[in-house]
Amino acid sequence: MASYKTNDFRKGLRVEIDNEPYLMIEMNFVKPGKGNALYKCKLRNLIRGTVLDRTYKGGDSLEAADVEEIDCQFLYRQTDTFYFMNNTDYDQYELSEEQVGDFWKYLKEGMKCHAVLWNGNPITITPPNHVELTVEFCEPGAKGDTATNVTKPVKVETGAEIICPAFIEMGNVIKVDTRTGDYVERVNIK
C-alpha cells in the first residue's frame, strides 16, 4: 500500500490511521528555531465524522487510505436499510440508517448521489446540493397573514418536514438545500 511522507502532506489527502480512513482538512508547517520541522494536521474520520489533531515530525509517514468516490443512484429504502447502485459497474450497496444520517430526508428513487467507498464498502453517501421535492401535506396559510417571513412546517414526499414560507401549498414543488436543510425556492412546473 502507498504511503505519504510529511513533505507530501496537504489539505484533501486521504490517509489511514489505526485502520480507519481520515481526510486531512488542515495542515500547517511549523519550523522552530531548533530541531525538526513540525507538521500540525487536523484530520476528519470518514466513518464517524470526528476530528483529530495530530503533530508529525519531518520524515514521518502515513499510509494512504483505500478510499474511492463513485457516482451512484438511490434505488429504494426498506425499513432501516438504503439501497444504492454504482452507475458504472451496476454493483449494489446497502447503507444503514446511521451511515445515511439526515440525508434520508432528501433521497428520492432514481436520484444520483456520490458515495465514498473504503476497501470496496460504502461508508457515506452525499446527495446533490439541491433537490426538488413535492409538498404532500401542509396547513393552509392563515387568511390575511401577510407579515414578512411567516413560515410553517410542510411534509414532503420523502417524509421529511421542511420549514417553508406561508404561501407554500400542497402539491407545490420546492427546492431544498441538502447541506443546510433550508427551503430555497418554489419551483414552477411547466
Residue 14's Cβ-side half-sphere holds a number of Cα atoms within 13 Å equal to 14
Task: Give the CA distances from residue 52 to residues 17, 49, 112, 124, 140, in Å, rounded to whole numbers and listed in that order.
Answer: 10, 10, 31, 19, 48
Q: What's the topology of domain 67-126?
A: OB fold (Dihydrolipoamide Acetyltransferase, E2P) (2.40.50)
Digit-by-digit pLDDT tens for the chain (190 residues) are 688 998 889 988 889 999 999 989 999 998 888 888 899 999 988 888 889 999 999 889 999 998 888 999 999 999 899 999 999 999 999 998 888 888 999 999 999 999 989 888 898 888 999 999 999 999 887 666 666 678 899 999 999 999 999 888 999 999 999 989 999 999 987 6
The residues of the chain that CATH labels 2.40.50.140 are 67-126, 130-187
pTM for the complete prediction?
Answer: 0.75
Q: What's the topology of domain 130-187?
A: OB fold (Dihydrolipoamide Acetyltransferase, E2P) (2.40.50)
The residues of the chain that CATH labels 2.30.30.30 are 3-64
The CATH architecture to which 3-64 belongs is Roll (2.30)
